[in-house]
Amino acid sequence: MSTTVLIGAQWGDEGKGKITDILAQKAQVVVRSQGGNNAGHTVEVDGTVYKLHLLPSGILNPQTLCIVGNGVVIDPKVMLGEIEQMQSKGISVKNLKIDARAHVIMPYHIELDGLSESFRGKGEIGTTKRGIGPCYMDKAERSGIRMWDLINPVTFEQKVRENVILKNKIIELVYGGKPVSADEIITEYSEYAKALAPYVTDTTPILYNAIKEGKEVLFEGAQGTLLDLDLGTYPYVTSSHPVSGGACIGAGVGPTLIDDCIGVAKAYTTRVGKGPFPTELFDKTGDAIRKKGNEFGTTTGRPRRCGWFDAVILGYSVRTSGLTKIVINKLDTLSDIGPLKICTGYKKGGEIITEFPADLSELALCTPVYEELEGWSGDISGVRSFNELPQNAKNYIKRIEELCGVRVWMVGIGPGRDQNILIEA
């Protein structure tokens, strides 16, 4: 048996999609367990770029069973659009299963996401406005609509009518927004229900049996540690649990069934949306990284904020997700950037701390402490073994390994399936 949880170790967009696709060539099952179409996972296969938001990145491998677990929030229109997009490219989705317990993103969730962001004004979170937060709010409040409800017309109609009464009060009276129509939602979503019904099932026994049969199972994380609702830079976080523990709840598997947890990070740091970012660069170097790394959001197209690699964050990810090894993607982006900096700790008052602060008010008192390393020049995207990398690139990776207390298992030097260097233990 081999079950692996793959998570983002920073603020998302670390290249999880690419690594999932690579591992999925061996895995028989790939599972998404949290988040929704706030995620944007890019996979490049033979020059074709796929941008996946809801479907597990394993879908590009015809033999892989792809499960969308109970912890995911599903916008049915987006899900169907993605299924159609795959089919139009000749990719089969016959191996897709969606858990009946997964919650449905409704039009009023999307509306409320936008309205609450406007209401926050300067204090906005910078959400993707895909209705993620309001959908998880309804789940926690116990008024949500699940995939099972969606495909059962009588229950669906009753739940939509009940919800719309309250949501319209909030939309109109609290925010002064435009009300939604229950009739229109029921008509529109009934069509989605018919199209999605064949995929909806209780996925938990399927997953359990696959694990017991010794199949290779991969849990594809979305977002990243610092966007975790509990462990991230609250309130500038998403509404689910991207840390490895989230995979257990979001897919209905117990922790004793997980063998390994792998973290994915970039060779530098990026963040989309608002919130603190200790190593953020506001200068030409930040611009150069953004340009060279094409750091623009897969989901919203927003420019990603860029900064130096932060070993404090990685150490925090290692601890909170129990990571046994990490992938460092986009090392190629740092070629020709000049001397590089790694944040080794935070200076807080007179002391140096190496634990990521629990609260933003404490984080605000911190300034990063840097160690400078020599850079390297030239294109490294064709390199296929660790030893062939420029010495300074090797030093950079080895220093990350030392500082984060975890093995660097793979290094990404390009977006392609083959542009990765596996480092033997």
Residues designated catalytic = 13, 41
Contact string 265-304 vs ligand IMO (x = CB under 6 A): -------xx------------------------x------
Which residue from 269, 228, 256 is spatially nearest to 404, judged by alpha carbons?
269
- The yes or no reply on residue 415 touching ligand IMO (CB under 6 A) is no
One DSSP character per residue, 230-249 reads TTSSTTSS-SS--STHHHHH
The item of ligand GDP, ligand IMO, Mg ion, none sharing an interface with residue 413, based on CB under 5 to 8 Å by kind, is: ligand GDP
- The yes or no reply on residue 126 touching ligand IMO (CB under 6 A) is yes
- The yes or no reply on residue 37 touching ligand IMO (CB under 6 A) is no
Q: How many CA atoms lie within 13 A of 5 on its CB side?
A: 33
Sign of the C-alpha dihedral computed for residues 328, 330, 332 and 337 taken in this order: negative
The letter for the amino acid at 116 is: S
Residue 209: both structure tokens together:
């049996």
Contact residue for ligand GDP among 5, 7, 11, 16 (CB under 6 A): 16
- CA dist 147 and 10 (Å) reads 31
Residues in the chain, how many?
425
The item of ligand IMO, ligand GDP, Mg ion, none sharing an interface with residue 285, based on CB under 5 to 8 Å by kind, is: none
Which H or E run includes 204? helix 203-212
> How far apart are CB 12 and Mg ion at their closest, in Å?
6
The item of ligand GDP, Mg ion, ligand IMO, none sharing an interface with residue 318, based on CB under 5 to 8 Å by kind, is: none
Peptide bond into 235 cis (omega under 30): yes
**List of E strands, 163-296:** 200-201, 216-220, 260-266, 269-271
> How far apart are CB 227 and ligand IMO at their closest, in Å?
5
Return the residue matching tokens 């949880």: 5
Which residue from 277, 256, 417, 260 is spatially nearest to 325, judged by alpha carbons?
260
- The yes or no reply on residue 139 touching ligand IMO (CB under 6 A) is no
- The yes or no reply on residue 223 touching ligand IMO (CB under 6 A) is yes
136: left (phi over 0), alpha (psi -120 to 50) or beta: alpha
Q: Measure CA 204 to chain center.
A: 22
* Crossing angle of the two packed helices 182-196 and 76-88, in degrees rounded to 10: 40
Dihedral (Cα; 114, 115, 119, 123), 10-degree rounding: -20
> What are the residues facing 367 on neighbouring strands?
347
Contact residue for ligand GDP among 17, 131, 177, 307 (CB under 6 A): 17
Contact residue for Mg ion among 13, 99, 111, 310 (CB under 5 A): 13
Contact string 281-300 vs ligand GDP (x = CB under 6 A): -----------------x--
Contact string 279-318 vs Mg ion (x = CB under 5 A): -------------------x--------------------
Contact string 78-117 vs ligand IMO (x = CB under 6 A): ----------------------------------------
Pairing type for strands 420-422 and 340-348 reads unpaired
Chain positions 313 to 332 lying near ligand GDP, rule: CB under 6 A, are 329-330, 332
Which residue from 240, 246, 197, 226 is spatially nearest to 6, judged by alpha carbons?
246
The item of ligand IMO, ligand GDP, Mg ion, none sharing an interface with residue 330, based on CB under 5 to 8 Å by kind, is: ligand GDP
- Piece of the chain touching ligand IMO by CB under 6 A; list 5-13, 330-338, 345-353, 391-399: 5-13
**List of residues contacting ligand GDP (CB under 6 A):** 8, 12-18, 40-42, 44, 298, 329-330, 332-333, 412-415
Interface ranges with ligand IMO (CB under 6 A): 8, 11-13, 38-41, 125-128, 130, 132-133, 222-224, 227, 238-239, 272-273, 298
Task: Give the binding site for Mg ion (CB under 5 A).
Answer: 13, 40, 298
